[in-house]
């Protein structure tokens, strides 16, 4: 926070739609740090892992020596919000990953990559998310994962009409299958920033 009162929020900028997240976070009053190197983790009060391609993010984070420091930061309570590929990165268990694909973990869930198949590659729908208030969230899914199972340490925040879970929370970690950063609905980012502000205090 550096005395300015504005939280310093990192956006993992290896790959994916990190610019969209940065714009939403700035709009909410955060100072944004693009994170590409381990040293940058020392500057931040929270981190967003964007949508993109989780297998590429996984490889790049290991190549750049970020994966282990990120795991340590998550274990020590850094607030982290992952959307889509970012949710996959935060999941403890992954189905349909590419050969050798790893995750950072932290969320006690099993996610299924590309769960909607080619027919329903991308779609939009309104979802009730009680923690964000009565107004439904317009959710955009792009080659999205689904949360196949939620372990005892994590909590489902939202599900599709058929019951499949698409948003989860566990302490300072938050993950959504969909992309609030592209819709103009800032409530998920605001909810996340509350975690960041509470921890940074
Ligand atoms: N299918 C992508 C993956 O496996 C996720 C897509 C997205 O982030 N929009 O990482």
**CB-CB contact of 110 with 91 (8 Å):** yes
Is pLDDT of 2 > 60?
Answer: no
112 C-beta closer than 6 A to ligand 1: no
Q: Which domain holds residue 80?
A: 8-200
**CB-CB contact of 86 with 47 (8 Å):** no
Strand blocks (E) in the chain: 8-12, 31-35, 46-49, 80-83, 91-95, 107-112, 122-127, 137-142, 146-150, 155-159, 165-170, 173-176
pLDDT digits (tens, 9 = 90+) for 151-185: 999 999 999 999 999 999 999 999 999 999 999 99
59 C-beta closer than 6 A to ligand 1: no
Is residue 2 included in any domain, yes or no? no
114 C-beta closer than 6 A to ligand 1: yes
Is residue 79 included in any domain, yes or no? yes
**In the structure encoding, which two tokens stand for residue 34, read together?**
């693009």
Active site residue 84: yes
Is residue 3 included in any domain, yes or no? no
**CB-CB contact of 185 with 138 (8 Å):** yes
**CB-CB contact of 143 with 122 (8 Å):** yes
- Give the integer Cα–Cα distance in Å for 20 and 79: 19
97 C-beta closer than 6 A to ligand 1: no
Is residue 196 included in any domain, yes or no? yes
* Shortest-distance Cα residue to atom 2 of ligand 1: 53
Is residue 118 included in any domain, yes or no? yes
Catalytic residue among 20, 21, 169, 179: 179
4 alpha carbon – ligand 1 mean position (Å): 35
Is residue 105 included in any domain, yes or no? yes
48 C-beta closer than 6 A to ligand 1: no
pTM here is 0.96
Is residue 67 included in any domain, yes or no? yes
Query: What local confidence, expressed as pLDDT, does residue 1 receive?
Result: 54
What value does the mean pLDDT of the chain take? 95
Per the structure, the count of domains in the chain is 1
Reduced to 3 states, what is the DSSP secondary structure of residue 12?
strand
Which atom in ligand 1 lies closest to the alpha carbon of residue 88? 10
Q: What mean pLDDT do residues 186-195 have?
A: 97
143 alpha carbon – ligand 1 mean position (Å): 6
Is pLDDT of 4 > 80?
Answer: no
53 C-beta closer than 6 A to ligand 1: yes
**In the structure encoding, which two tokens stand for residue 49, read together?**
């892992």
- 6-41 exposure pattern, b = at least 16 Cβ within 10 A, e = fewer: bbbbbbbbbbbbbebbbebbeeeebbbbebbebebb
- Which CATH number belongs to the domain containing residue 60 in this structure? 3.40.50.880
Report the Cα–Cα distance between both ends of the chain, in Å, rounded.
9
**CB-CB contact of 104 with 87 (8 Å):** no
Active site residue 179: yes
Is pLDDT of 120 > 80?
Answer: no
Is pLDDT of 76 > 60?
Answer: yes
Rounded to the nearest 10 degrees, how much is the dihedral formed by the CA atoms of 52, 103, 49, 122?
A: 40
């Amino acid at each position: 926070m550096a005395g300015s009162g504005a939280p310093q929020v990192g956006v993992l900028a290896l790959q994916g739609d990190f610019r969209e997240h940065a714009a939403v976070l700035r709009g909410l009053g955060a100072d944004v740090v693009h994170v590409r190197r381990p040293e940058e983790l020392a500057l931040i009060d929270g981190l967003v892992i964007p949508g993109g391609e989780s297998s590429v993010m996984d490889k790049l984070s290991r190549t750049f020596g970020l994966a282990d420091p990120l795991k340590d930061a998550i274990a020590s309570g850094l607030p982290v919000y992952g959307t889509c590929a970012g949710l996959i990165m935060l999941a403890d268990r992954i189905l349909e990953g590419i050969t050798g694909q790893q995750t950072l973990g932290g969320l006690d869930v099993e996610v299924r990559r590309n769960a909607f198949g080619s027919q329903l590659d991308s779609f939009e729908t309104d979802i009730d998310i009680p923690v964000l208030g009565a107004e439904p969230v317009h959710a955009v899914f792009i080659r999205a994962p689904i949360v196949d199972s939620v372990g005892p340490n994590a909590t489902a925040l939202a599900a599709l009409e058929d019951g499949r879970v698409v948003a989860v929370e566990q302490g300072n970690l938050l993950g959504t299958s969909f992309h609030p950063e592209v819709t103009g609905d800032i409530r998920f980012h605001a909810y996340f920033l509350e975690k960041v502000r509470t921890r940074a205090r």
